[in-house]
Amino acid sequence: MHVLVTGGAGYIGSHAALLLLEAGHRVSVFDNLSNSSPEALKRVHQMSGSAPELFVGDLLDADRVTEVLEITKPDAVIHFGGLKAVGESVEKPITYYQNNVVGTLNLITAMESAQVKRLVFSSSATVYAESKELPLVENAQRDASNPYGRTKLHIEQILEDLAVSDPQWSIAILRYFNPVGAHPSGNIGEDPQGIPNNLMPFIAQVAVGRRNEVRVFGTDYPTYDGTGVRDYIHVMDLAQGHLDALGYLNQNTGQYVWNLGTGSGTSVLDVIGAFSRACGRQLPYELVDRRPGDIAEYYGDPTTARLELGWKAERGIEEMARDMWKWQSNNPSGYPDYDLEGIPEDELNKFIRGARESLPETK
Residues recognised as catalytic: 148
Among 164, 220, 254, 291, binds ligand WQD (CB under 6 A): 291
Residue (236 or 268) nearer to ligand WQD, CB: 268
For 70, left (φ over 0), alpha (ψ -120 to 50), or beta? alpha
Based on the shown chain and the rule CB under 6 A, indicate whether residue 349 belongs to the binding site for ligand WQD: no
Q: Which is nearer to ligand WQD, 142 or 356 (CB)?
A: 142
Residue whose CB is less far from ligand WQD, 73 or 291 = 291
Q: Does 294 bind ligand WQD (CB under 6 A)?
A: yes
How many other β-carbons are positioned within 10 Å of the β-carbon of residue 222?
9
Of 20, 144, 199, 257, the one binding ligand WQD by CB under 6 A: 199
CA–CA gap between residue 16 and residue 248 (Å, rounded): 16
Q: Which amino acid is at 14?
A: S
CA distances from 291 to 87, 94, 180 (A): 10, 23, 20
Site for ligand WQD in 106-125 (CB under 6 A): 124
13 CB-side CA count, 13 A: 32
Q: Does 143 bind ligand WQD (CB under 6 A)?
A: no
Q: Which residue is nearest to ligand WQD (CB)?
A: 228
230 binds ligand WQD (CB under 6 A): yes
Spatial distance between the Cα atoms of 97 and 100, rounded to a whole number of angstroms: 5
Question: Using the 8-state DSSP alphabet, how is residue 252 labeled?
Answer: -
- In angstroms, the CA 205 to CA 193 distance is 12
Q: What minimum distance in Å lies between the beta carbon of 173 and ligand WQD?
A: 13
**Is residue 225 a contact point for ligand WQD (CB under 6 A)?**
no
Beta strands in 201-311, from DSSP E residues, in sequence order: 214-217, 229-230, 232-234, 254-260, 266-267, 285-288, 297-298
Answer yes or no whether residue 99 interacts with ligand WQD by CB under 6 A. no
Identified binder of ligand WQD from the candidate list 197, 253, 303, 329, rule CB under 6 A: 197
What are the backbone angles phi and psi of residue 252, rounded to the nearest 5°?
-140, 135
Give the shortest CB-164-to-ligand WQD separation in angstroms: 25
- Whether the Cβ atoms of residue 200 and residue 324 lie closer than 8 Å to each other: yes
**Beta carbons within 8 Å of 116's beta carbon, 6+ residues apart:** 4, 69, 73, 74, 75, 76, 77
**Residue of 50, 145, 198, 303 that binds ligand WQD (CB under 6 A):** 198
Q: What binding mask, one character per residue, do residues 72-91 give for ligand WQD by CB under 6 A, x or -?
A: ------------x-x-----
Smallest separation, CB 230 to ligand WQD (Å) = 5
Binding site for ligand WQD (CB under 6 A): 84, 86, 124, 126, 176, 178, 197-199, 202, 215-217, 228, 230, 268, 291, 294
